[in-house]
Amino acid sequence: MIKSLINTLEQRHILDKSEFIELIKNFENQEISDYLFKKAVAIRQKHYGNAVYTRGLVEISNHCRNNCYYCGLRAENKKIERYRLDKETILACCHEGYQLGFRTFVLQGGEDKFYTETMLTDIVSSIRKAYPYCAITLSLGEMSYETYLALYQAGANRYLLRHETANAAHYALLHPAQLSEKNRKQCLENLKKIGYQVGTGFMVGSPFQTFEHLAEDLLFIAQLQPQMVGIGPFIPHHQTPFADKEKGSVQLTLFLLAILRLMLPTVLLPSTTALGTLDPQGREKGILAGANVVMPNLSPVAVRKKYEIYDNKICTGEEAAECKFCLHRRMESIGYRIVVDRGDAKTK
């Protein structure tokens, strides 16, 4: 019965809500998991072979105006040492990354209003001028349509904005009242309309999450048809209201990665740092469940420990070259290879 659901998903790339729930409930069944992972890897191999794409992550600021209950960067966390990177430092990170073989740069940060639209477009256009053939990805939260458009016109190609949960009531349990699931989804629609390659995603095992919520997340992603989906297990941060909540499940995350590969055969699917934080072999397991992207850190070592969204984040003390070569070895150990490539999503 469950294997037939997996077969249906492979063929149709969609299930109904009750079918998704039934499938997800079996994430701890090893036989079912192995069957699902085998299908997911075969699809990833068909479209991408053994190639693993890298994204050079530059965490430009740990300031954030928001107070999301799960995030260590939240505005009310007074124990965090805040920082911002200036344009010259960001460009230096990209220069180092290019020398190391990165062809996609990801500028990520909290919703920091210090960076005006003018400042951000100047940074983006400078990166675009220096590296005309590289991809520029932004992950800077919710902005106006006009600002998204200005950044796109300045040279940004991709935008990552996790929807976190597609269920409005669940969204309200994770965020303060001024943030809404409706606005989050509108931002994603705006990004698609402008022409960005869009990435979304959610936390696995976030507080109050149910299998029903996860099924709704999958249905929302099927409707949105993003080029990228980032999911990772929830990990609590000690300076948040969710400090004592239970961590998300690595096994459930892997199961959902494989489901996403069957849903969106050509999607760019990261094996996240959060997986590697909870399981020493987590990133390798993510690739073996159908993922095809890893995101080493290009941020200056001096600020890495300060960008602490959750506790015990790995790779905060390594130089960029160390991160890259470590991942090379890890991927080669399971029969995969990191390639020098922008890593655009393939068309079906």
Dihedral sign from CA coordinates of 220, 225, 226, 227: positive
Contact 232, 253 (CB under 8 A): yes
158-160 vs 197-204, strand pairing mode: parallel
User: Cα-atom radius of gyration of the chain, to the nearest Å?
Assistant: 19
- Lookup result for tokens 């349509």: 145
- Lookup result for tokens 């040279």: 155
Give the per-residue pLDDT at 2.
96
pLDDT tens sequence for the chain (348 residues): 899 999 999 999 999 999 999 999 999 999 999 999 999 999 999 999 999 999 999 999 999 999 999 999 999 999 999 999 999 999 999 999 999 999 999 999 999 999 999 999 999 999 999 999 999 999 999 999 999 999 999 999 999 999 999 999 999 999 999 999 999 999 999 999 999 999 999 999 999 999 999 999 999 999 999 999 999 999 999 999 999 999 999 999 999 999 999 999 999 999 999 999 999 999 999 999 999 999 999 999 999 999 999 999 988 888 888 888 889 999 999 999 999 999 999 876
Both tokens of residue 140?
Answer: 């800077």
- Lookup result for tokens 């904005």: 161
Distance CA 201, CA 139 (A): 12
Both tokens of residue 296?
Answer: 């080493």
**For residue 213, what are the contacts with CB-CB under 8 A and spacing of at least 6?**
165, 166, 167, 170
Both tokens of residue 314?
Answer: 């790995």
Distance CA 75, CA 24 (A): 35
Dump pLDDT digits (tens) for 103-133: 999 999 999 999 999 999 999 999 999 999 9
Contact 139, 108 (CB under 8 A): yes
Distance CA 65, CA 142 (A): 11
Give the per-residue pLDDT at 321.
83
Q: Is 144 exposed, middle or buried (0-12, 13-18, 19+ CB in 10 A)?
A: exposed
SS3 for the chain is CHHHHHHHHHHHCCCCHHHHHHHHCCCCCHHHHHHHHHHHHHHHHHHHCCEEEECEEEEEECCCCCCCCCCCCCCCCCCCCCCECCHHHHHHHHHHHHHCCCCEEEEEECCCCCCCHHHHHHHHHHHHHHCCCCEEEEECCCCCHHHHHHHHHHCCCEEECCCECCCHHHHHHHCCCCCCHHHHHHHHHHHHHHCCEEEEEEEECCCCCCHHHHHHHHHHHHHHCCCEEEEEECCCCCCCCCCCCCCCCHHHHHHHHHHHHHHCCCCECECCHHHHHHCCCHHHHHHCCCCCEECCECCCHHHHCCCCCCCCCCCCCCCHHHHHHHHHHHHHHCCCEEECCCCCCCCC
Give the per-residue pLDDT at 348.
64
Q: Is 279 exposed, middle or buried (0-12, 13-18, 19+ CB in 10 A)?
A: middle
Q: Beta-carbon neighbour count of residue 69 at 10 Å?
A: 18
